[in-house]
Structures are given as C-alpha cells and as structure tokens.
Amino acid sequence: MRKKDGKDVMKEFEVRKNRQLVAIVLTVFIVLLCGVLYKRPVLYASFPKEGLFGPQIAAIVAFASFSALNWRCPSCGKYLGGDVHRQICKKCGVRLQ
C-alpha cells in the first residue's frame, strides 16, 4: 500500500469526521428520544420500562463500536480520542485538517 500524502489524509479525515458527527447526532437523538418517552406517562404506558433502556444501551454500544472502527488516524490507524476538532494526530503527527 502506498503511503498517503497530506491531501489524502485530510480528505479521509474529513470523511471520517462527518461519519463520526452523524453517529454522534444519531446516538444523542436515540438516547434523548428514549428519555423523553420514559418521562411521558401517556406514551410511557405503551412502553415497558425496561424496553426503553435496551435501545439506549444498544445505541451507545453501537456508537462505541462504530467509533472504535471509524475514529482513527487515516495515516497510522491510531484511535483519535474524544476531540472531534483534533488538528494533528498525536501518534504520528500527521496534519488532519
């Protein structure tokens, strides 16, 4: 595999970052939605109590697994951590954006 140049790395990072942001929004949406349903007695009546924790946990687990695969440096493959606005990879020092 040829070594990626700076432009390729930034392009791939942009794609990964967008995927990551979509995943964050989706996860927050699912978790909040379940929270809202849980707090509304009218809606709550039609949902079993433990039935709402399932989707929340599933969303969080899915997000964590997705992040572990997606949120990596395009150059060295190291996990990038919690900062979505990271400029430079801490491991290999490649410029990400």
Residues that bind Zn ion (CB under 5 A): 73, 75-76, 89, 91-92
Whichever of 40 and 91 has its CB closer to Zn ion, that residue is 91
Whichever of 23 and 73 has its CB closer to Zn ion, that residue is 73
Shortest approach of Zn ion to residue 76 CB, angstroms?
3
- In three-state secondary structure terms, 20 is helix
Shortest approach of Zn ion to residue 39 CB, angstroms?
42
CB-neighbour burial class of residue 81 (10 A; exposed 0-12, middle 13-18, buried 19+): exposed
10 CB-near residues (< 8 Å, 6+ apart):
95, 96, 97
Alpha-carbon distance of 56 to 35, in angstroms, equals 9
Shortest approach of Zn ion to residue 3 CB, angstroms?
12
Whichever of 35 and 81 has its CB closer to Zn ion, that residue is 81
